[in-house]
Amino acid sequence: MKRSYSFLIISFFVLAFLASGCSKDDSNPSATKEQSFSNTPPAVPDVNLNGPASNSSDPALQLIKGYFSGLSLLRNYTDMFRNVEATYLDSTWIRKYVSGSITAILTTTRLADGSYAWKLTINGTKDSVNYDNWLALQGTSSADGKTGTWSLFKENTNLLTGDYSWQKNDDGSLTATLREYYNGSVRTRIEASENTDKSGQVLLYFGSTLSYKAMWKPDGSGEWWQYDSSGNIRHQGTWS
């Protein structure tokens, strides 16, 4: 149960060093910054999952917080672009971040149904690795940002390594799913939900088999279950 989600670390390592010491680049002399409603840039999606509100050192709780670290990676990435002014060119909004010799460009296009398509590309050189218009992330979000799905690609390749989807419900609750792919198939899946009262649940699957489940109360205390491949409970416990 101490699985490391290294595929996400690999996919996001470029974004990590961009987040430290990066500078926004709002200059684009060929971009037309029109102020009409149709050209108002959409907000970068914001998905905020916190996990149990407990400071316990219980190993089960630390495991769950590790899962939520993975589920928070999308927000860590979007924070970099949220305050960057978007320029508008050829029906596309462009946000740009520069860090040293690396340039990250987030583009957004409105689709016919009012939803948005997003792409993140990386160019430059870092630690002797050259990035030539590498598509690191792409996905869509609804017009109101309440739902979306993003695909993550293995560093400097077009191989799908994971995807992330979310839904903000009318009652204020939030659900999110993170999948890891291996040779084109889903290898692991994390499903999490949080309510406005800070209660929640997380499920971990290997393939299609439920392996781990945890539920917690608004005060952060909770209960967990670990299952074998036949769906039988192997271990269970609580934390406070």
If you average pLDDT over residues 1-11, what whole number do you get? 45
> Nearest to residue 124, comparing CAs of 9, 17, 7?
17
pLDDT at 239 over 60: yes
pTM of the entire predicted model: 0.83
Please choose, from the candidates 38, 5, 42, the residue with its C-alpha nearest in 3D space to the C-alpha of residue 139.
42
Q: What is the mean pLDDT of residues 98-118?
A: 93
Fold of 6-18+45-239: Outer Surface Protein A; domain 3 (3.90.930)
CA distance 100 to 180: 30
Give the burial string for 6-41 (b: 16+ CB within 10 Å, else e): ebbebbbebbeebbeebeebeeeeebeeeeeeeeeb
Please state, for a pLDDT cut of 90, what percent of the chain lies above it: 63
Segment 177-233, tens digit of pLDDT = 999 999 889 999 999 999 999 999 999 999 999 999 999 999 999 999 999 999 999
| φ, ψ at 79 (rounded to 5°) | -55, -30
